[in-house]
Amino acid sequence: MEELVFGPVPSRRLGKSIGVNNIPHKVCSYSCSYCQVGKGEKIQIERQEFYNPDTLVKQVEQKLNMTSHAEYPDYITVVPDGEPTLDINLGKLITKLKTFGLPVAVITNSSLIYLDDVKRDLSNADYISFKVDAVNRSIWKYINKPHRKLDLHEILNSLMNFSKYYRGKYVTETMLVKGDNTADIELAATAQFLQQLKPSIAYLSIPTRPPAFENTFPPCEETLLKAYEIFYWHCLNVEYLTGYEGNAFTSSGNFENDLLGITAVHPMRIDAVKELMAKTKTNDGVLEKLVEENKVKKILYERQTFIVRSFNK
């Protein structure tokens, strides 16, 4: 039988998570320029049955039975190599997965949220991550290469509507693509929309693996910092999601570990870095060495010096 369930895998967002692949490879309503599973083989918006939900649930059950107490997952996550809401049985699947007593998360590109049955299915999930890369139609078309019948305006309105009554936790993910959606005006427009949407966390991510299309690159650290600041000034709880699973939330007492962990999630102002140095009895030379080794960068932004994690290798 095809292996449709994987993990548990560690994830900063969800702790340990078992992944459920409810869609065949690359079946999606988008064909994003940065897609890590390659160019879309089948771009569709019609929902259909792909796998019997009982088959998926059985595989999750087997996986959970094989998992030790220490590795036991915190979440079951529906996260296929395609768009999970194309599965017409998504609602049934979520209901059945919930019988394991674990919260269920769905990572979606948001494109089908205008459909009533998708809204109904998703409302049963405990956690949803919505993709919002751009609110400008031509940029959205360029980056996400949507199915021709999709309408961005309708998607964004429906998302806003859904957020008003959804009772679970929802976050957003904005992929930053160098030169495509990183102009100040575009970032501000996206941040304005997200400010109204009120996600628990607005994640900023960058392409970290080889993308589907050539000429798709991650932005530089300066742009990442700028995006962070623009989101922050729109009152968003913003975090980086860049493939580095740093732990910003516990202090190890080791300056290098703590600095790399924190800056994987947030840029740090130099005064906060100095405080951390004082706390861990670290001298300036250690920070300078990390800069020399290109593990972190010093960036001047709006007359403040920030220390940011180096993401571009």
Residues at the site binding ligand SF4, with contacts judged by CB under 6 A: 28, 30-32, 35, 37, 40, 82-83, 109
Give dist(CA 166, CA 129) in Å, integer.
Answer: 13
CB of residue 38 to ligand SF4, shortest distance in Å: 8
Nearer to ligand SF4, 32 or 102 (CB): 32
CB 82, min distance to ligand SF4, A:
5
How distant, in Å, are the alpha carbons of 11, 34, 208, 256, 261 from that of 244?
10, 18, 10, 15, 8
Q: Which of 91, 133, 292, 127 has the alpha carbon at shortest distance from 200?
A: 127
E strands present in 25-126: 27-28, 42-43, 75-78, 104-108
* Closer by beta carbon to ligand SF4, 32 or else 150: 32
Q: Give CA–CA dist 279/284, Å, rounded.
A: 13
Is the Cβ of residue 212 or residue 260 nearer to ligand SF4 in the bound state?
Answer: 212
- Residue 35 or 273: which CB sits closer to ligand SF4? 35
Pick the closer one to ligand SF4 by CB: 29 or 182.
29
Rounded to whole angstroms, the Cα distance separating 127 from 104 reads: 6
Looking at the Cβ atoms of 37 and 188, the one nearer to ligand SF4 is 37
**How far apart are CB 108 and ligand SF4 at their closest, in Å?**
8
Burial (0-12, 13-18, 19+ Cβ within 10 Å), 22:
buried
The least distance separating ligand SF4 from the CB of residue 276, rounded to whole angstroms, comes to: 35
- Smallest distance from the beta carbon of 79 to ligand SF4, in angstroms? 10
Pair 187, 231: CB distance under 8 Å: yes
CA-CA-CA-CA dihedral for 31, 34, 37, 42, to nearest 10: 10
